[in-house]
Amino acid sequence: MIKLTNIEKRYGRKKILNGVTFEADKGQITCLIGINGAGKTTILQSIMGLTPYQKGEITIDGEKLSPKMLEKITYIPDTMTLLPKMRIKDAFQFMDDFYQNWNGERAKEILEFFKLKEDERISQLSKGNTAKVNLLMGLAMEADYILMDEPFSGIDIFSREQIADVFSSHLVEDRGVIITTHEISDIEHLIDKAVLLADGAVKKEFMTEQVREEEGKSVIDVMREVYQG
């Protein structure tokens, strides 16, 4: 379980995260929802130790983030993090060199699923294919947890469909997924838990199926209640 307890983060005088507390379980898809600037990306970066936070605690299966832990958790940012001159196969080699949990077979399987070629250079990928390669690099890790930052941002409808298919496939089965998005409609039916954020704080946290069954509301209905009063 990834557990955030009372996380606070400031940039100068501005509070970016204000006492963020929530948990994300293994085997569940947890979606952080909020408009731009709500603190979604900062939360993921804080979990991965990519940005400092001033207060609170983050644990992964009860432990703080350590180099060893980075075999267990993988982050898929919304920006390309591979060198432009690399080919996809060079990126595979890089991952294979550094991660024990890199699954080359799975990487090739996902490559085929996305209809990409190993020889393609990172610098020549379209925005949609960049998002797919980003996703691929994360999914091919035998990690227990996957953090995804806006995987649908700025890509065409066919790429969105392909990426959305991943969420219902064996590629995320049994793993804990935290995904951020402000475009919930693509994955509303796939997520298990929603965490609604505004101004760096958690406004509401709920299990989607429970709300659907007990209150007859969709995630979007709850969002309307929370954000529009």
Partner 1 sequence: MKLFGKLVNFEFRRFLPIYIMLLAAVFLLQAAGVLYYAFMVKSEITESVMKLGIPKEQFLQDNGYVSIGNILSSFLFTLPIVIAAVTIFIYVLFIWYRDWLGKNTFIYRLLMLPVKRIQLFFSKLAAILIFVFGLIAYQVAVLPALQVILKLIIPVDYRLDLTIQGMIRSFYYLKFLLPEKFIDFVINYGFGTAFVIILFTMILIERSYRFKGVFMAVFYGIGALILVFSPYILQIIVKGYFYETELLWMQFAIAIILSAVSVFFSNHLLNRKIRV
Residue of 37, 63, 79, 221 interacting with partner 1 (CB under 8 A): 79
Residue of 83, 168, 213, 225 interacting with partner 1 (CB under 8 A): 83
Would you count residue 71 as binding partner 1 (CB under 8 A)?
yes
Piece of 55-63, 64-72, 110-118, 155-163 that binds partner 1 (CB under 8 A): 64-72
Would you count residue 61 as binding partner 1 (CB under 8 A)?
no
| Residue whose tokens read 């990426």 | 163
* Pairing label, strands 145-149, 73-76: parallel
Cα 70 off chain centre by: 15
Would you count residue 84 as binding partner 1 (CB under 8 A)?
yes
Q: Which residues 6+ apart lie within 8 Å of 20 measured at CB?
A: 4, 6, 7, 8, 39, 43, 56, 197, 200, 201, 202
**Strand, helix or coil at 75?**
strand
Residue of 27, 35, 50, 55 interacting with partner 1 (CB under 8 A): 50
Number of residues that bind partner 1 (CB under 8 A): 27
Piece of 65-73, 187-195, 199-207, 219-227 that binds partner 1 (CB under 8 A): 65-73
Would you count residue 54 as binding partner 1 (CB under 8 A)?
no
Residue of 17, 38, 43, 82 interacting with partner 1 (CB under 8 A): 82
* Bridge partners (DSSP) listed for residue 178: 30, 147
| Interatomic CA distance for residues 9 and 183, integer angstroms | 25
Whose Cβ is closer to partner 1: residue 11's or residue 158's? Answer: 11
CB 1 within 8 A of CB 144: no
Would you count residue 13 as binding partner 1 (CB under 8 A)?
no
Would you count residue 77 as binding partner 1 (CB under 8 A)?
yes
Cα Rg, the chain, nearest whole Å: 17
In angstroms, what is the minimal distance from the CB of 159 to partner 1?
19
Tell me the CA distances in angstroms from 208 to 116, 175, 187, 192, one per residue in order.
Answer: 34, 18, 12, 6
Would you count residue 94 as binding partner 1 (CB under 8 A)?
yes
Residues that bind partner 1 (CB under 8 A): 45, 48-52, 67-71, 74-75, 77, 79-84, 94, 97-100, 122-123
